[in-house]
Amino acid sequence: MGNPVVHFEVVGRDAEALQSFYKEVFDWQIQPAVPGYAMAHPGGEHGINGGIGAAMEDGEGHVTFYVEVPDLEEALSKIESLGGRTVMGSTEVPEGPTIAMFTDPEGHLVGLLKA
């Protein structure tokens, strides 16, 4: 079993402006999900869906991708043993998946999504 990239995310200071930008530039379908966050559907047979929304409390924007894994805690433990750092532990998204986030040894933010 592989661990495919299953979702991308673009977050920043102005969620509506980002959503409008990606919709206009790439003709993506944007569907509001929760306040400050929308699902992005790029379309095409090889693309993956993602989300565009407001950054967390610190306001720092980022672009990241989510990797599907069978066990979030096991993956985070392995990540930490190899020099990564847990940024957000296992978290259930309302009416959505269970996710976690980490940084790699160079500080790049990456998400995990429970299979």
Q: What is the DSSP letter of 78?
A: H
Number of domains in the chain: 1
pLDDT at 95: 86
Stretches where the chain sits below pLDDT 70 are 1
pLDDT at 43: 87
Residues spanned by the domain of 57: 5-114
Query: What is the predicted pLDDT for the residue at 66?
Result: 95
Give every CB contact of residue 101 below 8 A, 6+ residues apart in sequence.
64, 86, 87, 88, 109, 110, 111, 112
- The pTM score is 0.83
Could you tell me how far CA 11 lies from the centroid of its own chain? 9
Q: Taking the CB of residue 4, how many other CB atoms lie within 10 A of it?
A: 12
**Structure confidence by residue, pLDDT tens digits, 68-88:** 999 999 999 999 999 999 999
DSSP code of 94? T
> In the predicted model, what is the mean pLDDT of the chain?
92
Q: Please report, for the domain that includes residue 47, its CATH number.
A: 3.10.180.10
pLDDT at 59: 73
Question: How confident is the model at residue 1, as a pLDDT?
Answer: 61
Amino acid letter, residue 39: M
